[in-house]
Structure 1
Amino acid sequence: MSEFSLIARYFQGATSTHHSTRLGIGDDCAISQLADDCQLVSCTDTLVSGRHFLPDTCPHAIAYKSVAVNLSDLAAMGATPFAILLALSLPKSAACDEFLGRFAKGIADICQQFGVELIGGDTTGNDTLTVTITALGTVPANSALYRHTAKIHDIICVSGEIGSANYALSQRLAGNSPPAQLQQALDYPMPQVALGRQLLGVANSMIDISDGLGQDLGHILAASGVGARLDLHKIPTNALLGKLDHEQLWQHQLNGGDDYQLLFTLSPEKFAEFNQHSQPIYAIGEIVPTQGLQLFWHDTPVDFPIKGWQHF
Structure 2
Amino acid sequence: MTPEAAFIAALRGLASHPAARGLVDDCAVLEVGGETLILTHDMMVEGVHWLAGQDPADVAWKLLATNLSDLAAKGAEPIGVLLGYSLAEDNTRFAEGLGEALAHFAVPLLGGDTVSNPGAQTLGLTALGRATCRPVPSRSGARPGDSVWITGPVGAAMLGFEALSAGNTSTDTSVYRRPVPRLAEGRALAPLVTAMMDVSDGLLLDASRMAAASGATVSLDPALIPFPAGLPPQRARDAMAWGDDYELLFTLPPDASPPCPAHRIGSVLPAGPAALLLGGAPLSGQLGYEHG
TM class by shorter chain equals over 0.9
> What SS does the aligned partner of 2:277 have?
strand
What are the residue-to-residue correspondences of 1:280-295 with 2, within 5 Å?
280-291=261-272, 292=274, 293-295=276-278
Q: CA deviation at 1:169?
A: 1.9
Q: For 1:56-205, what aligned pairs fall within 5 Å after superposition?
A: 56-90=53-87, 94-96=88-90, 100-127=91-118, 128-140=120-132, 142-173=134-165, 175-177=166-168, 179-181=170-172, 183-205=173-195
CA RMSD in angstroms, aligned pairs only: 1.9
Aligned equivalents of 2:76, 2:46: Cα separation in 1: 28
Deviation at 1:240, TM superposition (A): 1.8
Q: Which residue of 1 aligns with 2:233?
A: 245
Distance 2:153 2:221 in 1: 15
CA distance in 1, matches of 2:171, 2:162: 14
C-alpha distance in structure 1 between counterparts of 2:133 and 2:283, whole Å: 42
Query: How far apart are 1:141 and its partner, in Å?
Result: 6.5
Distance 1:4 1:301 in 2: 25
Aligned partner of residue 54 in structure 1, secondary structure: coil
Pairing partner for 1:308 from 275, 280, 288: 288
Q: State which of 176, 199, 206 in structure 2 corresponds to 1:216.
A: 206
Q: Count the aligned residue pairs.
A: 288
Specify whether residues 264 and 62 from structure 1 end up closer, same or farther in structure 2 by C-alpha distance, changes over 3 A only.
same
Q: 1:290 to 1:16 in 2, by over 3 A?
A: closer
Q: Give the Cα separation in 2 of the matches to 1:205 and 1:82.
A: 23
Per-residue CA distance 1:49-74 (angstroms, 9 max, x = gap): 01111012101100000000000011
Deviation at 1:89, TM superposition (A): 0.6
- 8 A contact 1:33–1:141 mirrored in 2: no
Tell me, in whole angstroms, the C-alpha distance in 2 between the residues paired with 1:22 and 1:60: 32
Distance 2:220 2:178 in 1: 27
| Alignment counterpart, residue 43 of structure 1, candidates 40, 45, 49 | 40
Match of 1:8 in 2: 9
Query: How many Å apart are 1:198 and its aligned residue?
Result: 0.6
- After TM superposition, which residue ranges in structure 1, 4 or more long, deviate above 6 angstroms? none
Q: 1:46 to 1:264 in 2, by over 3 A?
A: same
Deviations 1:11-38 (A, max 9, x none): 11221437xx3635221000111123x2
Q: SS at the partner of 2:158?
A: helix
CA contact (8 A) 1:168 1:178 kept: no
After TM superposition, give the deviation of residue 187 of structure 1 in Å: 0.4
Is the contact between residue 81 and residue 126 of structure 2 (CA under 8 Å) also seen in structure 1? yes
CA contact (8 A) 1:31 1:40 kept: yes
Instruction: Structure 1 unaligned segments of length 5 or more: list them.
Output: none
Code of the residue aligned with 2:53 in structure 1: it is D
State the alpha-carbon separation in 2 of the partners of residues 160 and 89 from structure 1. Answer: 33
1:44/1:284 CA distance change after superposition, 3 Å: same
Following the alignment from structure 2 to structure 1, what is the Cα–Cα distance between the partners of residues 138 and 105? Answer: 22
Q: Where do 5+ consecutive residues of structure 2 fail to align? A: none
2: CA distance between counterparts of 1:70 and 1:303?
29
**Aligned partners of 1:285, 1:176: CA distance in 2, in Å?**
36
Distance 1:30 1:122 in 2: 21
Could you tell me which residue of structure 1 aligns to residue 218 of structure 2? 228
Separation in structure 2 between the aligned mates of residue 208 and residue 149 of structure 1, nearest angstrom: 15
CA deviation profile, 1:254-311 (whole Å, cap 9, x unmatched): 210010110000013222xx3xxx3311101111114322212xxx858664421011
The C-alpha deviation readout for 1:122-158, integer Å capped at 9, x for no partner, is: 1111122111000000104632100111011111111
Shift of the 196–60 alpha-carbon distance from structure 1 to 2, 3 Å rule, reads same
SS of residue in 1 equivalent to 2:223: helix
AA aligned opposite 1:26? V
